Amino acid sequence: MATPNTPLWEVFIRSRNGLAHRHCGSLHASDATMALQAARDIYTRRGEGLSIWVVPSGAITASDPAEKGMMFEPAESKIYRHPTFYEVPEEVGHM
Amino acid sequence: MTAPSISVSETPLVLYTLRRADDALILGHRLSEWCGHAPMLEEDMALSNMALDLLGQARTFYTYAAAVEGNGNDEDKLAYLRDVRQYRNLLLAELPNGDFAHTMVRQFFYSAFADLYWRAMMTSSDATLAAIAAKSEKESAYHLRHSSEWIVRLGDGTEESHVRAQRAIDDLWAFTGEMFAVDDSERGLIEAGIAADPAALRPAWLGTITAVASEATLVLPGNDWMQQGGRSGRHSEHLGHLLSELQSMQRTFPGATW
């Protein structure tokens, strides 16, 4: 239950060394310490994580879904930006 | 119709192991009663996680107790087919949950002890007990951290939460002494290097409790009269009700599995 005393936090988990933290969900907690413990209790019950970040949801600046046309459509027609037009020499092997 | 209680030959090692198993099962059961009722979803998960940690500890201790006893009992029989007077847990573990502050203070008092105790037990000359202690210590360390954080926030929170946390400390204080008590049966195991001496851990326990209480602006009671009885089967009126629920399935349908 959301109350003014328990703001929303976003949770990021790193599952293995060398991988990046990935967003996995959100939760309510009174402060950063309790948010970290709640994240551990909710999102790592099945051995999912080696490291947790919690971030106040209010600290995130998000793009506006209403602007997705302006923001993302221009990139859709630029297929030449994908590195799929090169012949990879045999000696390079698997990339 | 109902399954009769088993009898257990309580050699010192069997009794010792049953006491630890019963502490974990009964406290874990109490915590599980919060499932679906905690003040917030996040804490519902936290309490259930702690309950499952304790249930896991109980299972390993019961299994070991059954193996040491060697009378054909197993973890299920020891948990489901012993009567109230055969239970050996601390009175602290069986006390009703009360409000959230009461549950957290009970967990705080117990976990602060358990963390020290399991750490001491990791050097037990009994390899099985030392291994169970090593696993349990990591769990208790987190239970202590989580309950400590709540004690600070409840005590140093609102006027209402402070009153409730202080009331819980006052009500539960007299049940903390039993954690450090040792009888003749356990004394022998301590001298043999199998069990740790809980009395030696009380100064460290008191240090932890005092530091957290002080940060939480809570006051520890000065009285040192302590309630005892659980270790020898003399329980409060609450345990019978708890067991009637915990055991009802196996008592009514003996050997039922699913």
User: Tens of pLDDT along A27-67?
Assistant: 999 999 999 999 999 999 998 899 999 999 999 999 999 99
CATH of domain B12-252: 1.20.1260.10
Determine the residue of chain A that is closest to B149 in CA distance: A34
Interface check for B149 against chain A (CB to CB < 8 A): the answer is yes
Coil vs helix vs strand at A72: helix
* Domain residue ranges of chain B, discontinuous segments joined by +: 12-252
Q: Where is A12: in which H helix or E strand?
A: strand A8-14
Residue A1 pLDDT level (bands cut at 50, 70, 90):
very low
Per the CB < 8 A criterion, the answer to whether B123 and B130 are in contact is yes
Determine the residue of chain A that is closest to B153 in CA distance: A30
pLDDT, mean of residues B153-163: 97
CB contact under 8 A, B41 and A33: no
Question: In this structure, what are the phi and psi dihedrals at residue A69, rounded to the nearest 5 degrees?
Answer: -60, -55
Residues of chain A found within 8 Å of residue B40, distances taken between Cβ atoms: 1, 6, 28
pLDDT at residue A95, as a whole number: 67
Interface of A with B (CB under 8 A): 1, 6, 27-30, 33-34, 37-38, 40-42, 45
Residue B216 pLDDT level (bands cut at 50, 70, 90):
very high
Report residue B21 as tokens.
């198993």
Report residue B24 as tokens.
């974990």
User: Tens of pLDDT along B110-148?
Assistant: 999 999 999 999 999 999 999 999 999 999 999 999 999
pLDDT, mean of residues B151-155: 98
User: Tens of pLDDT along B35-81?
Assistant: 999 999 999 999 999 999 999 999 999 999 999 999 999 999 999 99
Mutate which of B35, B37, B40 to test chain A, going by most A C-beta atoms within 10 A? B40
Distance CA B94, CA B173 (A): 14
Distance of CA B241 to the CA centre of its chain: 17
Residues 6 or more apart whose CB falls under 8 angstroms from that of A65 comprise: none
Coil vs helix vs strand at B6: coil
Percent with pLDDT over 90 in chain B: 96
When CB atoms are compared, the residue of B43, B142, B149 closest to A33 is B149
pLDDT, mean of residues A72-77: 90
Bridge partner list, A10: A26, A55
Whether residue A2 is predicted with pLDDT greater than 60 in this model: the reply is: no
pLDDT, mean of residues A61-77: 92
When CB atoms are compared, the residue of A1, A29, A41 closest to B49 is A41
Report residue B199 as tokens.
């009395």
Nearest residue to B114 via CA among B170, B49, B176, B32: B176
pTM to 2 decimals? 0.92
How does A3-23 read in b/e, with b if 16+ C-beta sit within 10 Å? eeebeebbbbbbeeeeeeeee
Residues found in chain B: 258
Mutate which of A9, A10, A34, A54 to test chain B, going by most B C-beta atoms within 10 A? A34
Per the CB < 8 A criterion, the answer to whether B126 and B93 are in contact is no
Distance CA B212, CA B144 (A): 11
Interface check for B35 against chain A (CB to CB < 8 A): the answer is no
Longest Cα–Cα distance in chain B: 55
Report the mean per-residue pLDDT for chain A: 90
